[in-house]
Structures are given as structure tokens and as C-alpha cells.
Amino acid sequence: MSKPVDLLIAPRWLIPIEPRGAVLEAHAVAVSGGDIVDVLPEQEALRRYAPAQHIRLPRHVLIPGLVNLHTHAAMALLRGIADDLPLMEWLEKHVWPAEAKHVSAAFARDGALLACAEMLRGGITCFNDMYFFPEAAAEAARSLGMRAALGLLAIEFPTAYATDIDDYISKGLAARDRLRGDPLLSFCLAPHAPYTVGDAAFARIVTLAAQLDLPVHTHIHETGEEVETSLQRHGMRPLRRLERLGVLGPGLIAVHAVHLDADDIHLLKKYDCSVAHCPTSNMKLASGIAPVAALLEEGIRVGLGTDGAASNNRLDLFQEMRHAALLGKVASDNAAALDAHTVLRMATLNGAAALGLDRRIGSIEAGKAADLCAVRLDAPETRPCFDPASHLIYAAGREHVSHVWVNGRLQVDNGVLQGCDTVKLLDTIDLWQNKLLMHVSDKRFG
């Protein structure tokens, strides 16, 4: 007798990520209770299972949901507010003043909701956030059924969210206590960067990370200026300073990691750290090109992040995959570097592993959550298709995403976002734009 299941998805191609490099044809994924129960040939699946719903995707490739390993979701409200500037000028003269004037729980919620809508429509099912008011981001993610790793931000200067390091940490931990029962939410400690967080704060964060078994998510080695400033102030490069403070370890997610020398790479490997590579943001801010091929050759986990929409200006992991592949080849002078399957793994399982979520997400395997993304490959710009993995990196884009499931629930159906009043959302964003427009005008013409 056939076994009942909730859903059977039958794409033309299936790229499970594990085993590495596999591309399956005429296979199906059986889903029940939000989990993948089987991956097997479609004809065998029809004999073995009686699905309540059978979705055939004859011109599609099915992949795991994409994992955005680094973003500032609420900063979607600041998209385009100050372009074509180097990092510190962008931060100190434009972004931080705008945030000082406008950031609130409502700002964080509405901005994160806009970001979640954009990310889901582009096949991103999980994002690792770093921003003020993490409960507001949680509210946004939950409303759209999206998976989120919430960064508990720590920074040395006061904001509308918190007054000092103790206040940031206290509020972050309280938010975690209130939200930790939600199966779609996880948490990271998120000290902003070595240049905005002092030694005592890092020491406390190390203790908390060990006690609570939480990853630590921080910007590091993003610019040459950051490294030089650390040498002047501390007599050592930022990663060496974090080693001295006990921050380095398997739970560290080193965001950007652009300006690395051989010793820095040695430290990342020695302590089994992860790297969140944000190629588009790095290019736009002229921060540099991260040595990703060298990191991968050393066996260092590298995931992909978009950074915030204020510095990208898209929350688009298809763009990040393409940019990562092309930059990796140019920087290493090796056309074989960062092949399609490697980059797909960076955007899925590597990101999940960095967050400690690889037992639940990141690959299409029995026992894992059904976080899935279907991509149509039947448009003129994606034909002919000799290799669907190659097409996902070099030809297709987020506009070709047709279906997205999170925990077995369909959140994007034939390109249409489910459970979101888009008209109401965009009306809300228009109100924020009007508020922010005065700030932008003041900065440009004041």
C-alpha cells in the first residue's frame, strides 16, 4: 500500500548539493510534516507514496532554498540613499546619521518585511541578520514564513535601540529568550566589528557564545583602512586581536574577509572559522576582492551574503553567485576556480553549516526541512540548457524563480509571493521614503 505524504515535487532536474556535484533527472522529493521524507526516481515515488499534492515542474531545476549568510534586512529602507562612496564616508556621513534620526522598532519591522519579500521571491529561504530591534525582524520573517538567524547586535555607541554594550547584550538576550521556541528562528551574537567593539565587550561575547552555543557574526578585514587602524591602535591585525581575545573558533562567521594575508588565512583555517563572502557590496564600496579561491583551497567554509540593500543595492543571491564565480576566477587567474557546483554549495549548505543549521537545511536529503527553490529554465535566455548547474550561476536570475517552499509550506507560487499584502507593504514603504527624503535632501543640499 502506498504511504500518504503531503507533497510530491517532480522537477526535470534536481541538484541536491549532497552528494557534491550530483544532478538528478526524473527524480522527485516527497515531503510530509514540513520535512523531506525521500528523494527517489519519480516513477518509484509514485508507486511508494500517495501524495495529497503532486507538483510537476517539467522545465525546472529544484535546489535547496538559498541561505543569505550576511545582511542587514531593515536597511532595505535605505536602498540608494548614498551611493558611490567608500565605506567609512558612506557610514559616518550618511548611513549612521540617517539611522540616528529614523531607526525605531517600526523602521526595523517594515524594512525587514520589505527585505523578506524581496529575498523570498529570489529563492532565499533563510537569512542571517545583523540589525537593531531583532524582534522586529523576527516579526517580519514570521509573517512571511521565512527562516531567520537573528543577530543580537553589539556596538559601542548609543542608538535608539540601546545605550551601551551592556544594554545591547541584555536586550538581545531577552529577545532570544522570548523567541527561542520558534522553529524557524535561530540566533547569533553579532558584535558589529573590531573597530566598533572593545576588548571587554568581545570577552563577554566569547563567554556568552560558549555558554549558549551561539555563533558569533562580525564584520572583519573589510577594508585596508580597517587593518591599518588596528595595527596603529592595537599593534596587530584584527584577526590576531580576535585570536588574543578568544573569539576565533568554529562558531565565528567572518563577514567580508577581503584584506587577508597568509597569516590571516592560516588563522581562519586553524580555528575552523567560516567566511561570509559579499562580492557585490565589496565591489560597490571598492573594498576589494576577497581571496575566495585561496580560502576554499585551504578547506575554509565560505558562504554567500548580500550585505544590506543600502550597499548592494539588491538582496539577490543569484547575483552574488555569479559575481563570486567571476571574481574568483579573475582574482586567482584560474578559469576553473569556483565552478558552478562549488558556488551553489556556498549559497546553500556552506551558509547553513556556518549558522549551525546544516542538519536541518542546505541540501535536499531525507530528514531535512523542506526548504526548496524551483527555477524555470525554459525562457529564451536560458535555452538551450546543457547543464542546469551552470545555468543557475551564469544564465538564470532571481526572475526565473517560480516556487519557494519553507519548512514544506509554499511561500512563492508561480512567482507570486503568498501571505503578503504587497500593495499595503509598498504603501508603507512610500511613507518611509517621504520621511527619509527630507534627510537625504538635507545631506545633499544643506
41 and 85 together in one domain: no
When pLDDT is cut at 50, 70 and 90, the band that residue 441 belongs to is low
Range of the structural domain that residue 385 is part of: 3-64+368-414
296 and 262 together in one domain: yes
Asked if residue 184 belongs to a domain, the reply is: yes
Digit-coded pLDDT (tens) for 160-169: 999 999 999 9
Digit-coded pLDDT (tens) for 36-61: 999 999 999 999 999 999 999 999 99
Digit-coded pLDDT (tens) for 159-208: 999 999 999 999 999 999 999 999 999 999 999 999 999 999 999 999 99
CATH of the domain at 283: 3.20.20.140
In this model, does residue 355 exceed pLDDT 70?
A: yes
Please spell the DSSP secondary structure of 261-307, one letter per residue: -HHHHHHHHHTT-EEEE-HHHHHHTT-----HHHHHHTT-EEEE---
**All residues at 6 or more sequence positions from 258 whose CB lies less than 8 Å from its CB, including other chains:** 221, 222, 223, 282, 287, 288, 289, 290
Are 383 and 391 spatial neighbours (Cβ–Cβ below 8 Å)?
no
385 and 312 together in one domain: no
72 and 58 together in one domain: no
Digit-coded pLDDT (tens) for 109-162: 999 999 999 999 999 999 999 999 999 999 999 999 999 999 999 999 999 999
Q: Which helix (H) or strand (E) holds 243?
A: helix 238-244
Asked if residue 224 belongs to a domain, the reply is: yes
386 and 257 together in one domain: no
169 and 244 together in one domain: yes
Asked if residue 419 belongs to a domain, the reply is: no
341 and 396 together in one domain: no
When pLDDT is cut at 50, 70 and 90, the band that residue 271 belongs to is very high
When pLDDT is cut at 50, 70 and 90, the band that residue 439 belongs to is low
Alpha-carbon distances, residue 32 vs 66, 366, 403, 409 (angstroms): 21, 11, 17, 10
Asked if residue 441 belongs to a domain, the reply is: no
**All residues at 6 or more sequence positions from 423 whose CB lies less than 8 Å from its CB, including other chains:** none
Residue with cell 554549495: 345
285 and 332 together in one domain: yes
Asked if residue 341 belongs to a domain, the reply is: yes
State how far Cα 289 lies from the chain centre. 19
25 and 83 together in one domain: no
Asked if residue 439 belongs to a domain, the reply is: no
Residue type for position 83: D
23 and 81 together in one domain: no
171 and 303 together in one domain: yes
In this model, does residue 397 exceed pLDDT 60?
A: yes
CATH of the domain at 57: 2.30.40.10
Residue type for position 304: L
Structural domain total, the chain: 2
DSSP bridge partners of 301: 274
pTM of the model: 0.97
Q: Could you give the CA distance from residue 215 to residue 187 in angstroms, rounded to a whole number?
A: 8
86 and 185 together in one domain: yes
Are 117 and 422 spatial neighbours (Cβ–Cβ below 8 Å)?
yes
Show the cell assigned to 263. Answer: 597569516
Show the cell assigned to 214. Answer: 551561539
Asked if residue 262 belongs to a domain, the reply is: yes
Asked if residue 268 belongs to a domain, the reply is: yes
